[in-house]
């Protein structure tokens, strides 16, 4: 007597934008391969979109204009949320979980800000929320942190986790172009949104860093405690001076576990020019993770795009289908990799960190200016590692300093005092230096 074939696993997709369309196309295009790996058919049976897509193959599917029709469909096993944002995405996800549906989402903002309550709701209803595609597109960094490196205490991680920002800095460095010009090109190419704030001001990267730090350090999601700084103040001159000092400028998300407390911060960073991560260019992403047992491991690849992100979405769907196939109602591995979080772990604010610093100070071309600057730094207990001082081509000139390691609050005090000097023109540009040992980046 032949064994009955396993029942097909039904997928509902809410939102047919870039990621939703990519997910549908990948499931359809790799149908035989997915079936071979799962031992059962994976099929999209219901999609919801407010903008009908005439170029998609939706034969045999129910097509709705209301996303809540998908979560109410009794035949759907997993709901894929690709609409983005908070409203109505949060309501949609919560309703799907309440209806006993598994959820896969690429929505990093939703997870970073509302993940704690979402995962609680999932546990209460004994279902799974998977979100690999929410961080670094096609790079499987969530599974690497949560499962592949589970035996390690993660000491720190650092990543280029926003492709738009990396593209802008790459173009500025390669062609000495101004930030505004490259941003306009990024928008024309579709790398940046019409409102690019989330990308260029670091908010998108901060969402992703919040998620990675929670998994890495076993702490609750705390987006409001992630320091966030963008790249709009970086100039081609800063990039040139950094290179003279032996560094590249990259927009990094950095999380550090010092044992008593953790740091979570997103900001432009000077990285040694010869390091691998300094040479990740264009829209590429890369994440470096240091575990106490394994040491440093690097994960790099496409951080966005329909196919890359769909790769992670479909991999999550497949994980859930495997769980369903063995009769389990939810994943064995907790969503963030821990059963009980370290809720008492402090998150340091930016003034509690220490770093080396790049300072660009525009000054009037007067005798004794450098002596005044040195005196201010000395009074703040800050020592200078390197100086670049250019000849004046007008009545002002830039002085570029690289400091030795100092506490952030002392640097803030020094900058405030320096900006009050009559010889200092405008605001001082401050960029932190990568806080890791040579060779690890």
Active site residues: 208
What is the Cα–Cα distance from 276 to 171, expressed in whole angstroms? 18
Sheet with 9-14: strands ordered across:
62-64, 42-48, 9-14, 78-81, 102-105, 129-130
Contacts of 346 (CB under 8 A, 6+ apart): 260, 261, 262
Distance CA 299, CA 289 (A): 8
Tokens of 391: 């000849």
**Under 8 Å between Cβ of 83 and 92:** yes
Could you give phi then psi for residue 80, rounded to 5 degrees?
-105, 115
Q: Measure the CA–CA gap between 45 and 75, rounded to whole angstroms.
A: 8
Yes or no: say if 96 and 79 are a contact pair by the CB < 8 Å rule: yes
CA pseudo-torsion sign 400, 405, 408, 412? negative
By three-state DSSP, how is residue 315 classified?
A: helix
Question: Can you tell me whether residue 160 is helix, strand or coil?
Answer: strand
Matching residue, tokens 């897509």? 53
Whether 250 and 431 have beta carbons less than 8 Å apart is answered as: no
């Amino acid at each position: 007597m032949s064994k009955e074939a396993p029942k097909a696993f039904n997928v509902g997709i809410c939102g047919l934008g870039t990621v939703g369309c990519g997910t549908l196309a990948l499931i359809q295009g790799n149908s035989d391969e997915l079936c071979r790996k799962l031992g059962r058919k994976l099929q999209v049976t219901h999609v919801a979109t407010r903008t009908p897509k005439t170029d998609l193959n939706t034969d045999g599917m129910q097509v709705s204009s209301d996303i809540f029709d998908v979560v109410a469909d009794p035949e759907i096993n997993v709901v894929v949320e690709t609409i983005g944002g908070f409203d109505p995405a949060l309501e949609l996800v919560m309703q799907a979980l309440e209806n006993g549906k598994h959820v896969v989402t690429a929505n990093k903002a939703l997870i970073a800000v509302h993940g704690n309550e979402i995962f609680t709701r999932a546990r209460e209803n004994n279902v799974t929320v998977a979100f690999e595609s929410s961080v670094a597109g096609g790079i499987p960094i969530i599974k690497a942190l949560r499962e592949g490196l589970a035996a390690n205490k993660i000491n720190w991680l650092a990543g280029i986790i926003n492709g738009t920002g990396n593209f802008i800095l790459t173009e500025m460095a390669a062609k000495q172009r101004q930030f505004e010009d490259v941003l306009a090109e990024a928008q024309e190419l579709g790398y940046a949104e019409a409102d690019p704030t989330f990308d260029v001001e670091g908010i998108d990267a901060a969402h992703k860093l919040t998620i990675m730090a929670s998994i890495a350090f076993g702490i609750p999601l705390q987006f409001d405690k992630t320091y966030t700084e963008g790249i709009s103040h970086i100039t081609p001159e800063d990039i040139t001076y950094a290179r003279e000092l032996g560094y590249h400028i990259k927009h990094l998300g950095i999380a550090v576990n010092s044992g008593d407390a953790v740091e979570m911060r997103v900001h432009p960073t000077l990285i040694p020019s010869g390091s691998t991560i300094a040479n990740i260019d264009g829209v590429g992403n890369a994440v470096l993770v240091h575990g106490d047992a394994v040491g440093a491991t690097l994960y790099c690849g496409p951080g966005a795009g329909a196919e890359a992100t769909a790769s992670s979405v479909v991999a999550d769907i497949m994980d859930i289908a495997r769980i369903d196939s063995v009769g389990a109602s939810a994943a064995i591995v907790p969503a963030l990799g821990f059963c009980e979080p370290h809720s008492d772990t402090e998150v340091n604010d930016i003034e509690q960190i220490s770093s080396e610093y790049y300072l660009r100070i525009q000054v009037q071309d007067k005798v004794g200016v450098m002596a005044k600057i040195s005196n201010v730094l000395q009074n703040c207990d800050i020592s200078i590692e390197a100086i670049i001082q250019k000849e004046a081509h007008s009545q002002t000139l830039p002085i570029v300093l690289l400091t030795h390691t100092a506490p952030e609050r002392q640097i803030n005090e020094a900058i405030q005092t320096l900006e009050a000097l009559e010889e200092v023109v405008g605001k001082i540009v401050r960029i932190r230096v990568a806080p890791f040992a040579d060779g690890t980046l």
